[in-house]
């Protein structure tokens, strides 16, 4: 189902907004591609030799690859709240994934990045996963993308999305009509819609948020691709293989094909140099279906395997080709970055926790006005994938993880212990105390809550 303009008020354009719209052609188009549960080590340009990602690898050669890009949370809804608002998930109040009947949602009091761009003349669209609301089909009030600045909502959910639904008909939205011949595959459908969105808005300025449901479990790749990967040396043998998973590889190949389709369409239309193209993931991979080597653990944890994600940015006007940025970044930074690139001021009443990445996009060694990153992941009970109620802080190469359920603290120096196997908390108690004070002060500043009966 395609929803166009649902919930958007019509008004006359005049004054500063009209001026912004008249110069919209001078602003870059923005395409933000988000893969779900894609581990840092999955693309070829991050060292993977089993998966096949030629288009992502080419994108990295044409732009900048980030080695230390982080998700603001180890699960999806908090990441998406941070992306839309530029705020830490704890400040927004969404710190865990939302259930289908959840009354919690992204409040319309926030001015999302889509709304900022829309108000400066951008055509805005989302294709795929939203996951920032409960659903009317599950008996709760629903707050879809149209209420947050998206002109077009395409192939998106109106029911619970857990469990995977990669072939038509899609259980997460039974109103979607098939468009592709044969057994329509969800990733292919989203890729098609993305290319058509670009074609549809080629003469305007657009913001496209392509939010894939893949590679969220249950993994289910196209059979012909799965068969190819099963034949490769070292292949796992099923959808729950923890190493060289053929279904994950097949799904990632389909996502990668879409990246190629988008790049070719931009080049065909002469828009390649005028478009900011971003590819990233929303949290680490599930370590029951992948290995996040060289990192420890995966999705739902605050170890590197749960929060470090791939990030590639191509924008030929300012981003030097074939570069690598090693500066730690967070997805809270995309909001101010896109505002900066679009010459669009954020709402002055909305606090922004992120910083613009434009300095490092121009020069990967440029300093940012921040040297510390924080995480807050409170849970009443452990996540089914193993994550526990915890918080974390990274300052320079030092990282502290604090568990609220037990009071345990773990200290790591990521410069020489990237796998987080050697807990240095007993050896460096003064560093633990320093970082814990930073974490406590940050929690107080943003109003972060710790579950009753737990300590921090």
Give, for 442, the enclosing helix (H) or strand (E): helix 429-446
Q: In this structure, is residue 150 part of a structural domain?
A: yes
384 and 418 belong to one structural domain: yes
**Selection from 390, 380, 403 nearest residue 452 by Cα:** 380
Q: In this structure, is residue 224 part of a structural domain?
A: yes
Q: In this structure, is residue 312 part of a structural domain?
A: yes
206 and 164 belong to one structural domain: yes
Other C-beta atoms closer than 10 Å to the C-beta of 159 total 16
251 and 170 belong to one structural domain: yes
398 and 354 belong to one structural domain: no
124 and 229 belong to one structural domain: yes
111 and 260 belong to one structural domain: yes
For residue 243, the SS3 value is: coil
- In the numeric block, the tokens 């993994």 are attached to 219
Distance CA 323, CA 65 (A): 6
The gap between the terminal CA atoms of the chain, to the nearest Å, is: 45
The CATH number covering residue 315 comes to: 3.40.720.10
Give, for 160, the enclosing helix (H) or strand (E): none
Q: In this structure, is residue 456 part of a structural domain?
A: no
Beta carbons of 117 and 199 less than 8 angstroms apart = no
Average confidence score pLDDT of the chain: 93
Q: What is the pLDDT averaged over residues 145-155?
A: 98
Share of the chain above pLDDT 70, in %: 95
Q: Which residues contact 103 (CB under 8 A, 6 or more apart)?
A: 134, 140, 141
Query: Which of the listed residues 329, 362, 395 is the one where a domain comes to its end?
Result: 362
Q: What is the pLDDT averaged over residues 38-61?
A: 98
Write down the pLDDT at residue 346: 87
35 and 115 belong to one structural domain: yes
Greatest extent of the chain over all pairs of C-alpha atoms, in Å: 65
340 and 415 belong to one structural domain: no
User: CB burial class (10 A; 0-12, 13-18, 19+) of residue 181?
Assistant: exposed
Residue 18 has pLDDT above 80, yes or no: no
C-alpha 406, offset from chain centre: 30
393 and 251 belong to one structural domain: no
Distance CA 338, CA 124 (A): 13
Give, for 224, the enclosing helix (H) or strand (E): helix 223-230
Tens-digit pLDDT profile for residues 355-374: 999 999 999 999 998 999 99
Counting the structural domains of the chain, the total is: 2
Q: Which residues contact 356 (CB under 8 A, 6 or more apart)?
A: 333, 336, 337, 339, 340
Give, for 48, the enclosing helix (H) or strand (E): none
Q: In sequence order, what E strands does 156-220 have?
A: 206-211
Q: In this structure, is residue 217 part of a structural domain?
A: yes
Q: What is the pLDDT averaged over residues 414-441?
A: 98
17 and 95 belong to one structural domain: yes
Beta bridge partners of 281: 35
Residue 254 has pLDDT above 70, yes or no: yes
The CATH number covering residue 411 comes to: 3.30.1120.10
HSE of 34 in the Cβ direction (CA atoms, 13 Å)?
28
- In the numeric block, the tokens 């496209």 are attached to 208
Write down the pLDDT at residue 168: 97
Can you give the residue range of the structural domain that contains 94? 2-6+13-362
**Selection from 45, 32, 50, 33 nearest residue 248 by Cα:** 50
Q: In this structure, is residue 367 part of a structural domain?
A: no
Tens-digit pLDDT profile for residues 290-301: 989 999 999 999
Residue 6 has pLDDT above 50, yes or no: no
Q: What is the pLDDT averaged over residues 375-384?
A: 96
291 and 408 belong to one structural domain: no
Query: Which of the listed residues 337, 362, 387 is the one where a domain comes to its end?
Result: 362
**Selection from 361, 405, 364 nearest residue 386 by Cα:** 405
Q: In this structure, is residue 451 part of a structural domain?
A: no
User: Residue 5's pLDDT band (boundaries 50, 70, 90)?
Assistant: very low
Q: Tell me how far CA of residue 7 lies from CA of 10, 80, 153, 216, 385, in angstroms.
A: 10, 20, 11, 29, 37
Tens-digit pLDDT profile for residues 200-226: 999 999 999 999 999 999 999 999 999
Distance CA 164, CA 179 (A): 20
Query: Which of the listed residues 362, 380, 405 is the one where a domain comes to its end?
Result: 362
Q: In this structure, is residue 452 part of a structural domain?
A: no
271 and 337 belong to one structural domain: yes
User: pTM here?
Assistant: 0.94
């Amino acid at each position: 189902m395609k929803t166009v303009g649902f919930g958007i008020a019509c008004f006359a354009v005049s004054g500063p907004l009209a001026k912004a719209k008249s110069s919209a052609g001078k602003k870059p188009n923005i395409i933000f591609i988000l893969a779900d549960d894609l581990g840092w080590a999955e693309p070829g340009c991050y060292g993977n030799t089993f998966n096949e990602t030629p288009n992502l690898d080419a994108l990295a050669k044409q732009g900048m690859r980030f080695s230390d890009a982080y998700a603001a949370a180890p699960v999806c809804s908090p990441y998406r709240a941070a992306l839309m608002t530029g705020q830490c998930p704890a400040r927004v109040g969404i710190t865990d994934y939302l259930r289908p009947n959840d009354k919690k949602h992204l409040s319309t009091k926030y001015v999302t990045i889509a709304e900022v761009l829309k108000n400066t003349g951008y055509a805005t669209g989302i294709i795929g996963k939203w996951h920032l609301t409960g659903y009317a089909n599950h008996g709760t009030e629903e707050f879809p993308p149209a209420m947050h600045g998206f002109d077009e909502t395409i192939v998106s959910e109106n029911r619970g999305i857990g469990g995977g639904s990669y072939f038509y008909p899609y259980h997460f939205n039974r109103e979607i009509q098939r468009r592709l011949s044969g057994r329509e595959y969800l990733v292919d459908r989203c890729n098609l819609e993305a290319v058509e969105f670009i074609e549809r808005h080629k003469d305007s300025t657009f913001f496209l948020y392509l939010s894939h449901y893949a590679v969220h479990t249950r993994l289910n790749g196209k059979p012909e691709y799965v068969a190819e990967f099963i034949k490769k040396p070292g292949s796992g043998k099923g959808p729950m293989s923890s190493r060289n998973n053929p279904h994950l590889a097949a799904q990632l190949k389909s996502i990668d094909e879409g990246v190629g389709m988008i790049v070719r369409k931009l080049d065909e239309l002469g828009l390649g140099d005028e478009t900011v193209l971003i590819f990233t993931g929303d949290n680490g991979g599930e370590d029951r279906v992948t290995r996040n080597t060289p990192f420890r653990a995966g999705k739902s944890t605050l170890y590197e395997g749960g929060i470090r994600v791939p990030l590639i940015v191509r924008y030929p006007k300012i981003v030097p080709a074939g570069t690598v940025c090693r500066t730690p970044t967070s997805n809270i930074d995309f909001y101010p970055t896109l505002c900066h690139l679009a010459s669009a001021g954020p709402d002055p009443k909305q606090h922004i926790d992120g910083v613009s990445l434009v300095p490092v996009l121009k020069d990967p060694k440029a300093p940012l006005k921040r040297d510390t990153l924080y995480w807050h992941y409170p849970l009443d009970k452990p996540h089914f994938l193993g994550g526990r109620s915890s918080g974390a802080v990274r300052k320079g190469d030092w990282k502290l993880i604090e568990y609220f359920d037990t009071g345990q603290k773990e200290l790591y120096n990521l410069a020489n212990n990237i796998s987080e196997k050697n807990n240095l908390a007993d050896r460096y108690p003064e560093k633990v105390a320093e970082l814990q004070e930073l974490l406590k002060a940050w929690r107080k500043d943003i109003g972060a809550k710790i579950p009753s009966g737990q300590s921090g």
